[in-house]
Structure 1
Amino acid sequence: MGTPNILVARIDNRLVHGQVGMTWVNTIGANLLIVANDAVAKDEVQQNLMEMVIPDTVGIRFFTLDKTIRIISKAAPFQKILLVMKTPQDAFTLIKGGVPIKKLNIGNLHFAEGKKQLSATVSVSEEDVEIFNRLHSMGIRLEVQGIPNERATDLMTLLKKVQ
C-alpha cells in the first residue's frame, strides 16, 4: 500500500464545475480527479455534467466515501490527484478513515439560513465549525482559497472573527 499522490484536497459544495475542472486541474497539474461523495457516486446525471467540464487528458472517478477510504492507497505514483469533497463532514470521514490529507483547501460552502459568512464564498454552520475545530486539532491545515492564484486565507483566523 503506497501513499496516494494527493496534490490538493478541496471542499467545494459545487464539487466539479468549470472553475475547478479547468483552473485547478491545469494549475496543479492533476491527471486524476476523484470526487468523494456518496450521493454523486450514485447519480449519473451529475457525473455526466462534471465530466463535461474537465479536459479529456484528465481522468475522473466518482467514489463513495467508503470506497475512497478503501482504494485511494492503491493509486499509482503517476496519478496526480485532485480530491474533491462536498462538505467538511465528508472530509472528516475520509481523514478519520485514513486518507492521508494534511491540508484542506476550502473553496465554496454556500450561504444558508443559520450559517455565518466567513468570506465571499464560505459560510459555516455550527456543525461545520465543530468539524473544522476537530480537524484543526488533528493538525490539518485549513485554507480558504477560491482559485489557485488567489491568496489562501487561514480558516481558523476567519473563524475567530465571527465567534
Structure 2
Amino acid sequence: MISLYRIDDRIIHGQTMIKLLPQYPCDGIIIVDNNIVQNKPLFRIYKQVVPDTIKVFCFSVNQATKKLLEAQSSQKKYIIIFKNIKTVKDLFDHGYQITDEISVGTASKKSDAHYIVDGFALNNEEIDVFDYLDNNGCRFSIIPMGGARRTISWKDVKEKAQEAKS
C-alpha cells in the first residue's frame, strides 16, 4: 500500500524524519529518480539518514512503473518520493497514474524559476507540467515554507504561476 506520494527536491531530509514518518508510518521509502538511481554514493547517504527499520529503494522511471504497482498491492506501507514534477509526468507518460493527492514540498529557487509561494519556485517547464498533470486528474497539496501549516492546491496558485510565466 502506498501511504504518501511526495515531491520534494531535498528527497529525504529532517522534515521527512520528524514530520512525515510519524504521520505516515511506513515499511519503506521508494525514491523515483533517473539520476539518483545511477549515483550510488548519493543513494547511500539517503539510506543512512533513515532508521534501520525502514527500507529505502531507488528506481528509474522505467523500473518504477512495475515496482509502484507491486507497492500498491503490498501489505507493507510505502512513501514514494520524487525529486521533481517532471518525474511524475514521465511516470504518467509510461502509463502509471497517481490517483491519490500528491504532497508537494520544497521546489528550490533555480536561475530560471519564479517564486510562486514561499519555498516553491518553478520554471516555465515545471509550471506547464503541473498544469498538464492537473488537467489529467492529478491532485496536489502544496506545503508552503514558513509558519503556515496549511496546504494549498495547484488550483489555488495556478493563476499566479501563469502570471509569473508571462
Give how far 1:94 is off: 1.3
Inter-CA distance 45–68: structure 2 relative to 1 (3 Å threshold): same
2:81 to 65, 84, 100: 84
Give how far 1:146 is off: 5.8
Q: Matched residue of 2:156: which SS?
A: helix
Paired-residue identity, %: 18
Q: For 1:59-94, what per-residue CA distance to the aligned partner results, in whole angstroms no more than 9, with x for missing partners?
A: 110111110012221235222111001111101111
Give how far 1:96 is off: 2.7
Q: For 1:1-26, what per-residue CA distance to the aligned partner results, in whole angstroms no more than 9, with x for missing partners?
A: xxxx2211111111112221442122
Question: Equivalent residues in 2 for 1:1-163 (5 A)?
Answer: 5-75=1-71, 76-102=73-99, 103-145=101-143, 150-162=149-161, 163=163
Give how far 1:114 is off: 2.3
Q: Matched residue of 1:99: which SS?
A: coil
Inter-CA distance 44–15: structure 2 relative to 1 (3 Å threshold): same
Give distance in 1, aligned partners of 2:14 and 2:93: 30
- Report how many aligned residue pairs link the two structures: 158
Q: Matched residue of 2:111: which SS?
A: coil
* Code of the aligned partner of 1:78: Q
Q: Which runs of 5+ in 1 are unaligned?
A: none
1:25–1:31 Cα contact (<8 Å) kept: no
**What TM-score, normalized to structure 2?**
0.86
Compute the RMSD of aligned alpha carbons. Answer: 1.9
Give distance in 1, aligned partners of 2:21 and 2:28: 9
**4+ runs deviating over 6 angstroms:** none
Give how far 1:95 is off: 2.3
Give distance in 2, aligned partners of 1:8 and 1:137: 21
Q: Which runs of 5+ in 2 are unaligned?
A: none
Q: For 1:31-85, what per-residue CA distance to the aligned partner results, in whole angstroms no more than 9, with x for missing partners?
A: 2100000111111211111112111111110111110012221235222111001
